[in-house]
Amino acid sequence: MTPPPALKQISDTVWELATSYKPGMLVPARIYATEKLIKEMDAGVFEQITNVACLPGIVKYAHCMPDGHWGYGFPIGGAAAMDPETGVISPGGIGFDINCGMRLVLTNLTYEEVKPNLHRLVDQLFYRVPAGVGSHGFVKLSHDEFSRVAEQGSGWCLKNGYAWPEDLEVTEEQGCFAGADAAKISARAFERGFNQIGTLGSGNHYLEIQVARPENIFDEATARAFGITVPNQVVVMFHCGSRGFGHQVATDYLQTFLGVMERKYGISVNDRELACAPFRSREGQDYFAAMKCAVNMAFANRQVILHRIREVFSDVFHRDPLDLGMNMVYDVAHNTAKLENHLVDGKKRDLLMHRKGSTRAFGPGMAGIPECYRETGQPVIIGGSMETGSYLLAGLGTGKETFYTTAHGSGRTMSRHQAKKQFRGEKLQRDMESRGIYIRSVSWGGLAEEAGPAYKDIDEVVEATELAGLSKRVVKLVPVGNVKG
């Protein structure tokens, strides 16, 4: 589409809509993209990011990353910093799949070693990690025990034999957002979530066996620091979140906020999908505590999935997962709100960071990332389509303008409905296998929705994040096996 005429180009990769663009804008809206990507963005991005710029308490800019596309409330790829004293918290700025995130796991195997066992690996992963709408996990929990999962996150997994201690060290916030309170969760959310630990879900969630080919390494020193040390090394990446539990938490509090936003707090928004409440209000704090429960459930979900992945590789190769080098690189969250301390106009300030389909990307030396990554910057995992590959990147010190936020994926270019009309799952599976990618999916329709052309070019998105100084490329990881929800 043609971008709005008022869109001003600030640099090769920064575009701005000034506060004069729309009545009520408190700060400018900034979009990070190349000229090609900006021209391909749907109209909803410009409408939504300027609506975000109208929210009370927003600081500096409303941000949209290079993978930006229309979402619920915020564009997917959106980020906003709020003053915690004067600003709001909005479920539309976090998303329904709270802490939908990415995890990357190493092996010391090469593609040549894995290739003869690839079909067996993918088949076993498909059986051991339930996927699809409504899937249930093997971990059976009472509601009381699920409350502990929601409050403890990955720490619960460590206590119960589903994690190695070092897993928590390389998980964002050690796999637990402090302050989660299960008392703020509805009975309906409990019903939807307590049996979903260790499940992949549907939509764009996946579990992928990938290869780090030598020609795809952009920064050899950082790749080595992240554990990519062997030519054609095999790694495992997966993408999932808090499933129906997080969806219900968001749904519950959106209704709560719609009931009090104008009547009690006198706040009006341009889009009811941006329903919000003052962060320091009772309703805002209740949602913040409930959201953290969904965040922690998602960390635990990914941790149990990793446990199953290690079991599968151990069974197939008849070796202990430690001997197979199955250590985590990192687990990074998107779809969260978090209190962080950042420099604003030369002064340190506490900010409530909303990241919706965007990822934290702390630079070298920053507090909050593992000691082992202090020199390199935080690992950043950006998922592409199942046909094209994904990226491992590193955070940069130059990311301060976006409060160290970067893209989270390639971003859709067509709706799921349109993709299902244009592609056939059966044919897609055959075509992918002919190109060396073995895939198992719960449904043909779900597979068609995730066809490569339904997404932006991941190479262009990642290049834009690097050119904008938000994160730098370390290695591209190409798929050879995939489990799709």
| Residues forming the active site | 408
Residue reference for tokens 């009472």: 142
DSSP letter (8 states) at residue 286 = H
d(CA 373, CA 321): 23
d(CA 287, CA 254): 9
b (16+ CB within 10 A) / e for 232-245? ebbbbbbbbbbbbb
d(CA 403, CA 419): 34
DSSP letter (8 states) at residue 179 = T
d(CA 206, CA 234): 16
Q: Is-contact 63 50, C-beta < 8 A?
A: no
d(CA 225, CA 206): 26
In terms of C-beta density within 10 A (0-12 exposed, 13-18 middle, 19 or more buried), how is residue 435 classed? exposed
Cα–Cα distances (Å) from 328 to 106, 127, 129, 384, in that order, read 6, 22, 18, 19
